[in-house]
Structures are given as C-alpha cells and as structure tokens.
Amino acid sequence: MDELYMKQALMLAAQGLGRTSPNPVVGAVIVADGSIVGQGWHQAAGTPHAEVHALAQAGRLARNATLYVTLEPCCHHGRTGPCTDAIIAAGVKRVVVAMTDPNPLVRGKGIQKLRQHGLEVLEGVCAAEAAQLNEVFIKWIATGLPFGVLKTAITLDGKIATYTGHSKWITSERSREYVHGLRNMYDAILVGIGTVLADDPSLTTRLPGGGKNPIRVIVDSKGRIPLEAKLLCDCEAPVIIAVGPEASAEKLAALQAKGAEVLTLPLVAGRGVSLRHLFVELGQRNITSILVEGGAEVNASVLAENVVDKVHWFIAPKIIGGKTAPGPVGGLGLSDMAQATVLEDMQVKNIGKDILLTAYMQRREGRDVYRTCGRIGNSEGHS
C-alpha cells in the first residue's frame, strides 16, 4: 500500500515538470483510514509546496494520518516556510518519504526534525522513480551544472540533412510535436550559429495547448548572428548569446541593444566557445536544464566536453545517402573504438512512424549523480 500511494504522489509530482525550476518537482498524498483525504503538488517556484497543498485539502483529517511525499520535506526558510513545521502542526502521525533531498540546506535534516517530534518516518519507497523524476534538480543542486539533454534526428542511414543541406523534415509531425513537449519541459534550448543562419528559427514551444518557451541560447563564437534574426525580433523568451573574445565590440553592443544577454567565454581549440564554461555560467543563473538541438558541430562539442547527461535520438524510416551528407556528430571524431561514447539505460519506442531512442551517458564518477541518489534512497534503510 505504501508503494501504491507513493506512485500516486509521483504522478502528482510529474504535473510540475517544467514549471518549478530551480526547485524540484514534488507530490504529496495524505491517507487516513485507508482513503486519500488530501493531495497536492509543487506548482511553481515561490508558491506553496506539495505538502502544504495536501495538508490544506485534508484539513482536520490530517491528524494521525500518513503523509506520502516524493522528496524529503524542507526544514528551512526560503520563499516559503518549512514544510516540517506545517506537518508537525497538522498532527500527522507517519511520513513516508521516497528520497532524501540532495539540497545541502535539507539533506536529512527534515527527516531528523520529524523524528525528533515523534513522527514515524519511512524512507526509500519508490526512491529510484523519485530520483529519475527529479534528475534535473539533483544534477544541478549537486554540481551547479545544468542537466544536459541532447536531441537529434537522423535518417535510417545516419544523416541529418541531404548533401545540399536540406533537412525539413526528417521526422514526422508527431515526433516534432514530441520535441516541442521537451522544449516545454526544459529551462533552455541551445543551438549553434549554423542553425540560426540556415533556418532562422524561433526556438519557441508550439503545442496545441500552448506551452512554456525556453530561454534561447545561441553559441556564436564570432558574433555573426544577424540583427534581424527572428529570435532577436520577438519577445517570446530571453536570448543569451555566447561569443568568443574576438567578437566585435560594436556587434555585441548592438545585440545587447536588441535585448540579448551576451556572454564572452574562452575558446576551445578547434571547437569554438567552451561549452563547459557556458554550462557553468548558465547554471549560476539558475538554469537547471538545457535541451541541445544543435547541428553536427555543436553535438560534437557537447559530447567532447562531457556536458550531456541524456539523449533523445529520433530515427526516421528514410534513406537519403550521399558521401557528403552530414551525420549527427561532427568534429574530428575518435581514432579508437575504446574512446567511443557509450549509452546505457536505453528505452525505445515508436513515435508515429519514427523510432525514439532515449538513453543516458554511461555511468562514471561525477556524472551519475541522480541515479546515485536513487540507489542511496534504496539502500540507506528503513525505520
């Protein structure tokens, strides 16, 4: 029954995906006498937390009830008060927590406070599922770096465009709508200047029911972006342009006058702007996740600089051929198969006529942050 109610809390938490940054997504369910009497989820940063919504709905029925929550209740003052205080004041008897909060301000202190006030606390129920749901928050809070997601679309023979550069459209309309769903979920979208010059994209979210537009990040070492580019002429979402030290000061001033934020960053030999430096800068701006929709060179750079955590790889049932038709990852490539980037935890599904492969970068020290949290949640023991 604990797992059943926690899965309901996880479903509630998922409703906050893409809306709570830089906070985690959290769901809460209150059960009394075998019935759900209150539930809620965190809906936006700065608004009441999931536990507060659930307690408000339960009212007096929360006394002696069990609270199921997907993340350890907070015990510190931020933009809202401590959830632990509200839980204690409501008279909740038992709290079931999916996983410990990796935020150093909490990290076990919330659970400790509840126990000190006589509440029974059970940890680790559906911990792995809770950790995956909050993979973005966990990566950012633990490292300061945004969670990097690489999306690309290829034909069956591994091409992202014809030899002339024509690429509209490789995938089906359903796949493209799925990608807009990803834009709706992540904080920022990143492309290279080549994409801007070739397609003049808006980089907005276009879903039937609307959606949240991500911050638009353009990697443009030399500051070549036209001042009349669509994304500089609308007010749909903020624009950040990453340039190198040699970009024209006059052009940068003109870009700033158009409302863009300009970041001057060091260069990496043969690749342009250092994307690791860029991710550090963006993480410091509370940008917790970045969807990379670049071309072959940007894809090569994010992989080479180890800022990708997850990939969404669309494969269309088309063959276009051509020795010079570009593939999804450019750069010099590798000389030895032992150096190849390895993916794991793969899931494959059909999106219309296309195939979507979703996977994570192979576990290695410093990268497997969110899955480590999930394993910790399962192994620290129950009480």
Catalytic residue IDs:
51
**Annotated binding-site residue? 221:** yes
**Annotated binding-site residue? 167:** yes
**Annotated binding-site residue? 298:** yes
**Annotated binding-site residue? 341:** no
**Annotated binding-site residue? 299:** yes
**Annotated binding-site residue? 295:** yes
The 3 state secondary structure assigned to the chain is CHHHHHHHHHHHHHCCCCCCCCCCCCEEEEEECCEEEEEEECCCCCCCCHHHHHHHHHHHHHCCCEEEECCCCCCCCCCCCCHHHHHHHHCCCEEEECCCCCCCCCCCHHHHHHHHCCCEEEECCCHHHHHHHCHHHHHHHHHCCCEEEEEEEEECCCCCCCCCCCCCCCCCHHHHHHHHHHHHHCCEEEEEHHHHHHHCCCCCCCCCCCCCCCEEEEECCCCCCCCCCHHHHCCCCCEEEEECCCCCHHHHHHHHHCCCEEEECCEECCCEECHHHHHHHHHHCCCCEEEECCCHHHHHHHHHCCCCCEEEEEEECCCCCCCCCCCCCCCCCCCCHHHCCCEEEEEEEEECCEEEEEEEECCCCCCCHHHHHHHHHHHCCCC
**Annotated binding-site residue? 183:** yes
**Annotated binding-site residue? 121:** no
**Annotated binding-site residue? 120:** no
**Annotated binding-site residue? 301:** yes
**Annotated binding-site residue? 27:** no
**Annotated binding-site residue? 10:** no
Residue list, annotated binding site for NADP(+): 153, 169, 195, 199, 221, 295-301
Residue list, annotated binding site for substrate: 167, 183, 203, 206, 293
Residue list, annotated binding site: 49, 74, 83, 153, 167, 169, 183, 195, 199, 203, 206, 221, 293, 295-301
Residue list, annotated binding site for Zn(2+): 49, 74, 83
